[in-house]
Structure 1
């Protein structure tokens, strides 16, 4: 079987040790930091371009720094609670002290997304700003964080795909040695990279084009709708190639389906697709 050996990249960029104190900067943490900071600058850039909004920008660029604090809180709390509730509720109900151990991993995009929605909505209400306009701006920033996050997933050798005999399959460490009933090196779809391209690069390019070339910000909800539908569709598609979470796999259910043959990721993505289509149609009808 042809395959690509997993590159020897340490999940830790560097480690500082001072006596009994030790600090490590991991690629996953850097992905969050880079995504948030670049996204913040992108949203500020939109607020400096009133013409993109068809007149006055929703808020002054300087106020976006305050919004960033709410977004960070929403990402962390929502991402962690989403993982706890959607993926391992039984374990965390039995071990509530483990919920706070974010440094050990376990974040959910769908939970983080709900956390960002709640944080941005609360901030917009305090500022007296139309929430849909803020959501449209954040929609442009989200693919940046998704791209960096999926690259970090790949570096961490986690959330890999199903076994494949395609030549670009990757032999991830710890991914098992039994492929297609044959004992040996098991090559798998690099589904993290599929998601980085679809959810990050492609979706981000579409939103950049729509906002800067097609005036989508002048139609409140349009950019949000494209992001929701685009992410939901991309995630739903990639789930066919992504290995299901171990807690959902049984001898009778090797694909880890949780409802109607769908994985948890697909199940959580369906509402995003429908919500996205609603906002797109809503924006189009109000523009007519």
Structure 2
């Protein structure tokens, strides 16, 4: 059975101001990171750091996500469009954020915070890693609501029909007409994998569960960060097989390798390296804060 994607990307209309679901999902991700981070701080997972210092860390990480994610998207996926329209850099509400760019931005923000606080960079990265997956999951739900980053055709009688992915003349038809055609089964041939929901499950629910469990007991330095990099790299690489490549880039090689897969390979390698490196690293012991 197919589903016609028919969701308004605008969450609220406040006069001339429109609040997009995409932005709401980012806010939920930051709130989740704040709540989980406070819990880890109180459990002493980053000794010597109180909630105020954690607030500073989260601020720099959030700044890194937004700036790195947007700049990374421009550099990796839409540099040609940026040269034609530089203002697209600030139109974050329209979508278009790169995880890999966001990760580099977070690492830069964490590094800056660590220099000021004299904390080992990897201790902070290991602390932050379990806070990230829920935000990734919310972000993918934002992609789903926005009807972007859809998957490949299912080739069957199931899947999701994304209006923006339809060919002419369907692409410019009003939604009411598309609903009527869908009710007749005329659009079933265009059904696609809801790859956004696959990623929300893997990058959000599964990664959050595994990393929270894995970090619930003291681990050697590099271990939690390595597990994060490995899991994300593997999950992203696999989902790309059922996700459409970016239209302006297409496949890079062999008729299947995508930009997302190419950018995920270094993460897989880094994750394996950090996990290997963790075998001879010290283990940071929790120092719970007094209530």
Give TM-score, length-normalised by structure 2: 0.85
Q: Give 2:36's match in structure 1, choosing from 31, 36, 42.
A: 42
Is residue 2:196 matched to residue 1:192?
Answer: yes
- Residue matched to 2:263: 268
* Comparing 193-202 and 37-46, the one that deviates more: 37-46
Q: Which runs of 5+ in 1 are unaligned?
A: 249-255
Q: Give the superposition deviation at 1:58.
A: 4.7
Are the equivalent residues in 1 in contact too, given 2:240–2:258 (CA < 8 A)? Answer: yes
Q: Give the superposition deviation at 1:98.
A: 2.9
Are the equivalent residues in 2 in contact too, given 1:225–1:276 (CA < 8 A)? Answer: yes
- Residue matched to 2:2: 3
Partners of 2:99 and 2:253 in 1: how far apart? Answer: 19
- Residue matched to 1:105: 95
C-alpha change, 1:167 and 1:131, in structure 2 (3 Å) is farther
Partners of 2:246 and 2:32 in 1: how far apart? Answer: 30
Are the equivalent residues in 2 in contact too, given 1:47–1:58 (CA < 8 A)? Answer: no
Indicate the SS of the match to 1:14. strand
Q: Give the superposition deviation at 1:184.
A: 4.4
- Residue matched to 1:222: 223
Are the equivalent residues in 2 in contact too, given 1:58–1:130 (CA < 8 A)? Answer: no
Are the equivalent residues in 1 in contact too, given 2:136–2:204 (CA < 8 A)? Answer: yes
Partners of 1:58 and 1:176 in 2: how far apart? Answer: 55
Indicate the SS of the match to 1:170. strand
Partners of 2:39 and 2:71 in 1: how far apart? Answer: 31
Are the equivalent residues in 2 in contact too, given 1:169–1:190 (CA < 8 A)? Answer: yes
- Cα offsets for 1:2-46 (capped at 9, x unmatched): 42232x3211111011xxxx1111111011111011102211211
Partners of 1:106 and 1:153 in 2: how far apart? Answer: 9
- Cα offsets for 1:110-142 (capped at 9, x unmatched): 111110110011111111111111111211011
Give TM-score, length-normalised by structure 1: 0.86
- Residue matched to 1:15: 13
* Comparing 72-81 and 98-107, the one that deviates more: 98-107
Is residue 2:26 matched to residue 1:32?
Answer: yes
Partners of 1:147 and 1:166 in 2: how far apart? Answer: 27
Indicate the SS of the match to 2:165. coil
Partners of 2:209 and 2:157 in 1: how far apart? Answer: 28
Partners of 2:65 and 2:161 in 1: how far apart? Answer: 31
Q: Which runs of 5+ in 2 are unaligned?
A: 169-185, 284-291
Partners of 1:5 and 1:97 in 2: how far apart? Answer: 32
- Residue matched to 1:82: 72
Indicate the SS of the match to 2:80. helix
- Residue matched to 1:95: 85
Q: Give the superposition deviation at 1:193.
A: 0.5
Q: Give the superposition deviation at 1:244.
A: 0.9
